[in-house]
Amino acid sequence: MKNKILRIIHNALMKAKERGELSLPEVPPVALEVPKEEGHGDFATTVALSLAKPEKKPPRKIAEIIKGAMEDSDVILEKTEIAGPGYINFFIKDSAWLSVLSEIEGRGADYGRSNIGNGKPVQVEFVSANPTGPLHIGHGRGAAVGDSLARLLSFAGYDVKREFYINDFGSQVENLASSIYFKYRELSGDEEAAKAMSAEAADEEAPGVEDAVNHAYWACHYLGGYVKDLAQEFMARPEFEKLSEDDKKTYCREEGIKMMLRQIEETLAKFGVSFDEWYSERKLYDPKNNLVRAAIDELREKGLVFEEGGAVWLMTTRFGDDKDRVLIRNNGQTTYFASDIAYHRDKFLRGFKEIIDVWGADHHGYIPRMKAAIQALGHNPDEFNVLLVQLVNLMREGQPVKMSKRAGTFVTLEEVMDEVGTDACRFTFMLRRPDSHLDFDLDLVKSQSSENPVYYVQYAHARLSSVFRQAAEKGIAFPPIEEVNLSRLLLPEELAIIKRLSAFPELVEKAAEAKEPHRITYYLQELAGELHSYYFRHKFISDDLELTYARMHLVQAVRQVIATALGLLGVGAPESM
């Protein structure tokens, strides 16, 4: 409906220009909003006010010119009014709104789909957890945000690829390997390893033992039973005991990474998330094609690299960063920043026109330096965007949930999914803007009440599905929508619901452009609220078959939009609950 009004305004502007009533060197963008007060119409535009200065005319005069040039070829306008200093208010005929139901039935699951992305290649990288432990609820929120955004962008016509960056190079991976290896030694009765681990627990010196044990104890404490499980499994493998000690350490690293990655992939699959690419950080350091060295060489050729204090630096201050950044330390080791530059350089080399990273909120300060690096590589920094995801506070009966016994110091995503279900978990993660803190109340999320947002929305779909089952039991067959008298839908609640359905396509476009998939969650709660209120006040199936047919087509449209919107969040639309 909004697009029809925009076409009317655009055509009126062109007609006024042809008549010589407006000069219009170029067609201005037309803002069309839904007025806050119902008496001001269904839509309103301020285009006359924005044209007052260039046209050198009073805005009300311009509004009169535009109104006089309007042609309502679709016969959808009840009336138009000029208000205030030059607003143009549009009042849509009730009968015109009814056409929305036919459009929804005609397009089905594609209602709301658009092509604003025009096939633009976009990469969304999210989760990207170190393969050194199971996913926690913070990873879960990032997974929900990233996957929902990817679904939304795809629905809006972008060519989207999902990517998981595997941090399998560096100290975190070595800590995992050390933790498994020393746990193995401890379980094997190695007194030296046991003594060292005990000393670490007491924050004491552990002389005579490899430095790796310092990190190994921390990793064992952090990962709890997971490290012990891995050590015990490796001990049970005949090939492991035949290895030398050095080879055992390597085995712990390589097999440990594989098993942790397998667990991460299985958890994400259970969460409804899959990736087009699992990108290994090690690929950046391939001896045959060292992408980190290539990135630094390119920056050096651009005259943006210098050496100082034995280290190699990038001039990020040239691009708005608060200080220059180290690429290679004075000990010859490259920094994480160098790896990230090489990784994002490779993203652009793969043809992506926009890159979206989903990061934890604690990485906020890292954004300016990465944008500086993107610009240093010769790309528009606006082609690189970051969605920050804040922490999740897991609550039960108003109190923080105690940490997992198996994970040591955090609650795993798997545990939360097992308790509340995947749908409830994903929907709850999307209840707030990702950059705002979220209280995840386990008791509320499991409750079957209107206070539980996910239950409230899913129950709306299930409730409407039950209406169709009831109709089938009564032997009611519905004629096609073109044979139904939809003009019987004249109640204020019915028109309000139809207007809400009409807004869905624009919502999808705006949410995609703003990269804000949580808008879908807000919309669903509003639509479900209107539906439940309508359901309690009126019968959908009655002896008045003409009215029954009209309401059933309204019900079908609502059910379709709820299912589509839930799908954009990766949440199921149950037929019964």
Average pLDDT rounded to a whole number, residues 475-493: 93
Reported as a single tens digit per residue, the pLDDT across 103-160 is 999 999 999 999 999 999 999 999 999 888 889 999 999 999 999 999 999 999 999 9
> pTM of the entire structure?
0.90
3-class DSSP state of 268: helix
Residue 143 gets the label, from left (phi > 0), alpha (psi -120 to 50) or beta, of: alpha
- The pLDDT value recorded for residue 179 is 81
d(C-alpha 388, C-alpha 435), whole Å: 5
SS3 content of the chain, % helix, strand, coil (to 5): 55, 15, 30
Cα-only R_g, the chain: 30
Sheet containing strand 32-33, edge to edge, reads 32-33, 43-45, 87-92, 77-83
Per-residue confidence at 409, pLDDT binned at 50, 70, 90? low
Reported as a single tens digit per residue, the pLDDT across 235-248 is 999 999 899 989 99
Reported as a single tens digit per residue, the pLDDT across 40-54 is 999 999 999 999 999
What is the residue type of 186?
Answer: E
Reported as a single tens digit per residue, the pLDDT across 298-345 is 999 999 999 999 999 999 999 999 999 999 999 999 999 999 999 999
- The pLDDT value recorded for residue 386 is 98
- The pLDDT value recorded for residue 403 is 60
Residue 33 dihedral angles phi and psi, to the nearest 5°: -120, 160
The domain limits of the chain are: 2-92, 450-568
Average pLDDT rounded to a whole number, residues 433-460: 93
Residue 160 dihedral angles phi and psi, to the nearest 5°: -105, 135
Select the more confidently predicted residue: 424 or 184.
Answer: 424
Match 């409804």 to its residue by tokens.
Answer: 272
Q: What's the gap between Cα 246 and its chain centre? A: 43
Neighbour tally for 161: CB within 10 Å: 19
Per-residue confidence at 280, pLDDT binned at 50, 70, 90? very high
Neighbour tally for 537: CB within 10 Å: 9
d(C-alpha 530, C-alpha 550), whole Å: 18
CB 479 within 8 A of CB 546: no
CB 181 within 8 A of CB 138: no
Say how many CA atoms lie within 13 Å of 314 toward its Cβ.
Answer: 31
d(C-alpha 417, C-alpha 136), whole Å: 11
- The pLDDT value recorded for residue 198 is 58
- The pLDDT value recorded for residue 407 is 54
CB 426 within 8 A of CB 569: yes
What does each C-alpha distance from 483 to 335, 487, 550, 558 come to in angstroms? 68, 12, 10, 19
Q: Which CATH number fits domain 2-92: 3.30.70.260, 1.20.120.80, 3.30.1360.70, 3.40.50.720?
A: 3.30.1360.70
d(C-alpha 518, C-alpha 538), whole Å: 31
What does each C-alpha distance from 556 to 462, 552, 568 come to in angstroms? 12, 6, 19
Per-residue confidence at 427, pLDDT binned at 50, 70, 90? very high
CATH 1.20.120.1200 fits 450-568, yes or no: no
Per-residue confidence at 406, pLDDT binned at 50, 70, 90? low
Encode 84-102: b = buried (16+ Cβ within 10 Å), e = exposed: eebbbbbebbeebbbbbbb
d(C-alpha 93, C-alpha 438), whole Å: 42
Reported as a single tens digit per residue, the pLDDT across 522-565 is 999 999 999 999 999 999 999 999 999 999 999 999 999 999 99
Reported as a single tens digit per residue, the pLDDT across 346-379 is 999 999 999 999 999 999 999 999 999 999 999 9
Per-residue confidence at 182, pLDDT binned at 50, 70, 90? confident
Instruction: Assess whether pLDDT exceeds 50 at residue 421.
Output: yes
Alpha-helix residue ranges (DSSP H) falling in 324-421: 336-349, 367-376, 413-420
